[in-house]
Amino acid sequence: MEVLERTINGKNVKIYIGSGLEMEINRAMEKYSGNITFVSSAIRKIYSKKIRAISSTKSFITDGERAKSMASLNAVFRKLIRMEVERNSSISYIGGGTLGDLTGYAASVYKRGVHYLGIPTTLLAQVDSSIGGKNAINFMNIKNVIGTFYNPEATFSDTDFLLNSDPALLRDGIAEAIKMGLIMDAGLFKYFTENNLESIYCEKRLQYIIKKSTEIKLNVVSDDFFDSKKIRYLLNFGHSIGHALESYTGNAISHGTAVANGMILESYIAYKSGYSGMLHDEIRDAVARYGIPLINFREIETDKLISYMKNDKKVERGKLNMVMLGGNGTAAIGEIEFQQLRRYINLYRDGI
Ligand SMILES: NC(=O)c1ccc[n+]([C@@H]2O[C@H](COP(=O)([O-])OP(=O)(O)OC[C@H]3O[C@@H](n4cnc5c(N)ncnc54)[C@H](O)[C@@H]3O)[C@@H](O)[C@H]2O)c1
């Protein structure tokens, strides 16, 4: 087991990474006057023994993107009030990033903030969404539009939850972890180029990937907790084009697939903009090792793709602030005009 510890925005945050973390979880919960854990109904049967070993009152809840809604939030608040959950109690979750976002928001506003513990169960949640204190629900079809910054006191990334996980779910987490390596840690990216989906499907390697990604995310959010200094922006590498691909395809591709393909094209744009050497082929090979589907950009209409990018939160005065990969685990923010972006995307399509 590894324990990472940081003070972020004045709060001590601990992240436990390993297998069989039930004892640590129970010990953490003992500190509070009560504990309620919202558990993903989808994993209730798969991990019933593990879930039973966690001594908390449990409430089972349907997760997935639809859970990040006012309706689910109301259900959570009703439960907390009916159970007379006190201010010194803690709320926790056992589930993926969607449940983390929903319960994190509830914990941050219920009685103006109660203790919060995270037990993420997808690789994506363990390497990314459970770290950094952002939470949000969707509203009026706008993703993550209502949320707060609120760190859990402790997060328990237990690899036992990953060993029966669907490979498609693992791939989504791998895409985000590859991203962490590309922007901050060349060693982590190299690790991905030397492994494949089969070889990383073991406790030791998963633990390594989670630890490295968690350290990177902790470093970034410690410097820019409230996302106000453009440092957190770096975590958006692959996401400007990735989000546009999700919209373009009507969410027919997974977030990880969108980000992975976004990273390939964005690294080509960084190369054309003079930020780095050619890295896109290396990234494409790394992504393919994990069976992440590659998009044929010749089948994508550039103008339509760009129309989705115009709504990106990182557009300022008509220009897009995009994460430009520098190579060797470095990245910077670069401004790019949409006309230039169109030119580079078309050049990439012509070269395939
Ligand atoms: N707050 C942040 O900083 C942040 C960062 C990145 C992503 N996110 C959010 O995270 C969400 C995506 O998270 P996700 O990919 O974990 O999706 P998810 O929570 O929807 O989980 C995916 C599916 O896997 C199932 N599942 C969960 N754990 C499982 C397990 N161990 N074995 C088998 N099935 C399991 C769930 O029931 C669900 O059907 C998005 O809503 C995204 O916006 C938040």
Q: What's 283's domain CATH number?
A: 1.20.1090.10
Domain that holds residue 43: 2-165
Query: Atom of ligand 1 at shortest distance to CA of 40?
Result: 37
Do 239 and 319 lie in one domain? The reply is yes
Between 177-181, 191-195, 308-312, the lowest mean confidence (pLDDT) is in 308-312
| 258-275 residue pLDDT tens | 999 999 999 999 999 999
pLDDT band for position 6 (cuts 50, 70, 90):
very high
Q: Report whether pLDDT(352) > 80.
A: no
| Structure confidence at residue 230 (pLDDT) | 87
> Using a 6 Å cutoff on CB, does residue 175 contact ligand 1?
no
| 113-151 residue pLDDT tens | 999 999 999 999 999 999 999 999 999 878 889 999 999
Q: Is the CB of residue 37 less than 8 Å from the CB of residue 92?
A: yes
> Using a 6 Å cutoff on CB, does residue 165 contact ligand 1?
yes
**Cα of 75 to ligand 1 centre, how many Å?**
19
Residue keyed to tokens 């209730």: 44
Please enumerate in sequence order all residues whose Cβ is within 8 A of that of 121, keeping only pairs 6 or more positions apart, or say none.
Answer: 40, 43, 47, 94, 95, 96, 158, 161, 162
| Structure confidence at residue 156 (pLDDT) | 98
* 203 inside domain: no
* 76 inside domain: yes
Do 151 and 28 lie in one domain? The reply is yes
Q: Is the CB of residue 35 less than 8 Å from the CB of residue 56?
A: yes
- Report how far residue 177's alpha carbon sits from residue 186's, in angstroms, rounded to the nearest whole number: 12
- Report how far residue 238's alpha carbon sits from residue 140's, in angstroms, rounded to the nearest whole number: 25
Q: Report whether pLDDT(3) > 90.
A: yes
* 207 inside domain: no
Q: Is the CB of residue 352 less than 8 Å from the CB of residue 297?
A: yes
**Cα of 337 to ligand 1 centre, how many Å?**
33
Query: Atom of ligand 1 at shortest distance to CA of 147?
Result: 1
**Cα of 349 to ligand 1 centre, how many Å?**
32
* 298 inside domain: yes
Do 53 and 160 lie in one domain? The reply is yes
> Using a 6 Å cutoff on CB, does residue 172 contact ligand 1?
yes
> Using a 6 Å cutoff on CB, does residue 256 contact ligand 1?
no
**Mean pLDDT calculated for residue range 307-325:** 90
Q: How much is the CA Rg of the chain, to the nearest whole Å?
A: 20
Going by CA atoms, what residue is nearest to atom 26 of ligand 1?
Answer: 96
**Cα of 173 to ligand 1 centre, how many Å?**
9
Q: Give the up-direction half-sphere exposure of residue 121: CA atoms within 13 A in the CB hemisphere.
A: 24
* 212 inside domain: no
Pocket test for ligand 1, best of 40, 50, 134 (most atoms within 8 A of CB): 40
Q: 3-class DSSP state for residue 336?
A: strand
* 221 inside domain: no
- Report how far residue 127's alpha carbon sits from residue 180's, in angstroms, rounded to the nearest whole number: 9
* 288 inside domain: yes
Do 260 and 159 lie in one domain? The reply is no
In 3D, which of 29, 20, 91 has the Cα closest to residue 50? 20
Number of domains composing the chain? 2
Residue keyed to tokens 């001594």: 55
Between 87-91, 281-285, 311-315, the lowest mean confidence (pLDDT) is in 311-315
* 183 inside domain: no
Do 129 and 255 lie in one domain? The reply is no
Q: Report whether pLDDT(82) > 80.
A: yes
**Mean pLDDT calculated for residue range 163-186:** 95
Secondary structure (H, E, C), 75-128 = HHHHHHHHCCCCCCCEEEEEECHHHHHHHHHHHHHHHHCCEEEEEECCHHHHHH
End-to-end CA distance of the chain: give it in Å, rounded.
44
What is the sign, positive or negative, of the torsion defined by CA atoms of 12, 1, 90, 33?
A: negative
Q: Is the CB of residue 123 less than 8 Å from the CB of residue 178?
A: no
The pairing of strands 319-325 and 315-316 is antiparallel
Do 157 and 238 lie in one domain? The reply is no
> Using a 6 Å cutoff on CB, does residue 257 contact ligand 1?
no
| 34-64 residue pLDDT tens | 999 999 999 999 999 999 999 999 999 999 9
Query: Atom of ligand 1 at shortest distance to CA of 135?
Result: 1
> Using a 6 Å cutoff on CB, does residue 121 contact ligand 1?
yes
Name the domain boundary from 140, 165, 190.
Answer: 165
pLDDT band for position 192 (cuts 50, 70, 90):
very high
Do 256 and 142 lie in one domain? The reply is no
Name the domain boundary from 135, 165, 195.
Answer: 165
Going by CA atoms, what residue is nearest to atom 24 of ligand 1?
Answer: 96
